[in-house]
Copies of this chain bind each other. A is one copy, B any other.
């Protein structure tokens, strides 16, 4: 018995999406509908009713953890997902390449994403990674660039703390924010904030005259001449899924965040060519890789990001079309394994992202379980509305533990 968990990011919608229907309702999803008919559906509140989830906290909750107990911030998952070796005591950040102008020693933000820079990130990364902040107790800096303007940064040194403010002002024409301790007088946070401010200043010094930025200036593009840091966090205490359930899992995710969360939970990463974390991702390849990985792993978690990207871009047609691709190319490739009794499947989203809001909202999302141990309900469609009448009712988080339960892998609490 094997398990596959698929989370389609931002899957849920609202009637305002497409003339009274959600994107999922408007999409033709014959494979999901067939599994809904043979399996059971319900509504899941990713964290809890009325709680508007972040992607990171929602994933922790769906994977079986209580985010109120374990969540320390997003940066650590970005660092893990991008391949940095994170140790206890390290403080981690999400990083953006941005464009600043210096006037009178003040760095003022011109473009928070440096024109969504599309190439040359290796050169920028090389200029930052391995930096040592001699002014701040010899704190060491590890940096990795990921897609476009994104990256992750890690500070390593004695007595650091994640309890510092971010440097991203979230607006243009504002100075880069100065990091300060969240609690005045917190010595470790003061040391960390000093390191954050120092690394920010030094990133400007290191980047501003790089060849790539001279070239960008010549082409009229904004230079990537600073990094903005947010999501300060350290390694959370997450008991590995393997030690809780005694089973070994793998993750297939194009996005660093999702890969990082899964790694933090003890899954092993599987690289799939063409898994971009975007709308152009190769869904069939992800499904095929998951099926192949079931020879080595007990379960595979597949993350699909395109649904959320389209919704953040307020593009209902793109979201609908991507859901149809998920149904055809991903579910279509897996349905045989489910119907043959080899695999139990769970399919859900990590939150609702309505088109006209363009960001996460608090509504529950539909969830589907299918496989030989799932008692079928009366539902014959997979959608938000159909799920509201589904036989699994409504519950919070815990989708992976429920899937592992259908696979007969749950540990017994009590005797």
Contacts and interface: CB of A to CB of B under 8 A. Distances in A.
Interface of A: 14-16, 22, 40, 42-43, 45, 47-58, 64, 67, 71, 73-74, 231, 354, 357, 359-364, 372-378, 384-385, 388-399, 401-402, 404-406, 408, 410-415
A14 B376 CA distance: 10
B393 A47 contact: no
Contacts of A64: 50
Q: Is the interface of A mostly helix, strand, loop or mixed?
A: loop
A43 B396 CA distance: 15
A51 B401 CA distance: 8
6 contacts: A14-B373, A49-B397, A357-B408, A362-B410, A363-B406, A376-B385
Given A40-B388, A388-B393, A389-B389, A52 B376 contact: no
Given A395-B394, A408-B361, A415 B52 contact: no
A393 to B, nearest CB: 3
A40 to B, nearest CB: 7
Nearest to A56: B414
Contacts of A48: 398
Nearest to A71: B414
A49 B401 CA distance: 8
A64 B51 CA distance: 10
Contact of A398 (B50, B54, B231, B405): B50
A92 to B, nearest CB: 13
A396 B393 CA distance: 12
B401 A50 contact: yes
A38 to B, nearest CB: 10
Given A362-B405, A377-B388, A412-B54, A49 B15 contact: no
A364 to B, nearest CB: 8
Contacts of A363: 375, 405-406
Contact of A56 (B354, B394, B415): B415
Nearest to A373: B14
Contacts of A410: 50-52, 361-362
Given A56-B415, A395-B394, A384 B373 contact: no
A374 B413 CA distance: 32
A395 B364 CA distance: 11
Nearest to A388: B391
Contact of A412 (B14, B53, B354): B53
Contacts of A415: 54-56, 73-74, 231
Contacts of A56: 414-415
B401 A362 contact: yes
A375 B364 CA distance: 11
Nearest to A43: B393
Contact of A413 (B16, B47, B402, B408): B47
A162 to B, nearest CB: 14
B54 A413 contact: yes
A177 to B, nearest CB: 16
A399 to B, nearest CB: 8
Given A15-B375, A50-B401, 4 more contacts: A55-B414, A354-B373, A361-B373, A389-B389
Given A372-B16, A402-B49, A389 B412 contact: no
A22 B376 CA distance: 11
A233 B410 CA distance: 23
Contacts of A354: 373
A54 B408 CA distance: 14
B413 A49 contact: no
A389 B396 contact: no
A360 B395 CA distance: 20
A-B complex: 9 closest residue pairs judged by Cβ atoms: A54-B414, A388-B391, A57-B414, A393-B394, A362-B405, A50-B401, A52-B410, A50-B398, A49-B395
Contacts of A377: 385, 388-389
Contacts of A360: 412
